Amino acid sequence: MLIGATSDPVSNPQTEGNRDAPKVTPPQETYLRLHRTICQVIRGQDATVRRVLAAFASGGHVLLNDYPGTGKTTLAKALARAIAAQFTRIQFTPDLLPSDILGVAIFHQSNGEFRFHEGPVFTNILLADEINRASPRTQSALLEAMAEGQVSVEGQRRVLPELFFVIATQNPIEFRGTYPLPEAQMDRFALQLDLGYLPPEEESAMLAAQMRDHPLDRISACTTVSEVLALRRAVQDVRVSDEIRRYMVELVAATRKTAGVRLGASPRASLALMKTSQALALFAGMECVTPDHVQEIAVPVLAHRLVLDPQAQYSGQSQRSVVEDVLRQVPTPA
């Protein structure tokens, strides 16, 4: 990994908050509380939690991509629990239908009318578990909800709650009975994160913590929807200089020109890169984005959007390595 080791002082909110910005702003305080609460449940994943929260605070959605049992669902549930918000979970299966997600109009005999029954998508935090198990048709039912915060069901436009966050998980190892997400759907996720296995000492600490009960049961909501919305607004106020913007655009443009890449990152990727960088800057107590923030978040934001040539894949290139190469090639403003 090029950048962003977990020991990075930038990504350590506690130390940085104490040293650089003695006055912690309320949005930053919201972030710190959330981060602390989630880290009680997910051990040894501080950086990942920080990035998930960056996507969450910038209005993006997150795709967690890892092996079974690495804590993807737990992370999603912990985030949901930490906020006093409505949480629903959809377990994606091959026979899941779009109406199972969006809702359906049911005929009521008592008054002779069709009444719309809202599906699980009408919520604040939606956990789409094992999203690659459902058919592309059902996966696509989420497209509009994720991009525009609304769903169109039976010719009617229904607006989702202002705070709408999708955290989806998928299992990269299983091929049987899965449907890889289409590129358009992939592009809708601001970040794709890998949790990875814990170091042995962290894992043993986790075992110790869960001897009696799951820490998930112990945590309670530490923040409210309105505080989260305030956090989102504060993220939008983080300043981005022209130079940084150009740097981001150059990074994204470079992915399109790299050999072996069939589909480069979209302009939506540039947007996501800017917004998540803003969130990281706010988490670090800064009022402007620095190249460090961009570099930290570039791989999770860009990698999953790239489509590589089969040739490139067989020769050992991965989406992640492409983005890392790009980061190495584009000169950083200093």
**Residues contributing to the site for another protein (CB under 8 A):** 3, 8-10, 19-20, 239-244, 246, 286-292, 295, 327-334
CB of 292 to another protein, least distance (A): 5
Q: Which is nearer to another protein, 10 or 166 (CB)?
A: 10
Residue 169, SS3 per DSSP: strand
CA dihedral 237, 271, 276, 44 (to 10 degrees): 170
With b for 16 or more beta-carbon neighbours within 10 A and e for fewer, the 82-117 pattern comes to bbbbbbbbbebeeebebebbbbbeeeeeeeeeeeee
CB of 242 to another protein, least distance (A): 8
End-to-end CA distance of the chain: 21
CB of 258 to another protein, least distance (A): 15
Q: Which is nearer to another protein, 18 or 150 (CB)?
A: 18
Q: Which is nearer to another protein, 3 or 263 (CB)?
A: 3
Question: Is residue 239 within 8 Å of 288, Cβ to Cβ?
Answer: yes
CB of 89 to another protein, least distance (A): 38
CB of 304 to another protein, least distance (A): 22
Q: Which is nearer to another protein, 313 or 329 (CB)?
A: 329
CB of 142 to another protein, least distance (A): 35
Q: 197 phi and psi, to 5 degrees?
A: -80, 155
User: CA-CA distance, 149 to 19, in Å (whole number)?
Assistant: 38
Q: 204 phi and psi, to 5 degrees?
A: -70, -35
Q: Which is nearer to another protein, 4 or 60 (CB)?
A: 4
Q: Which is nearer to another protein, 264 or 285 (CB)?
A: 285
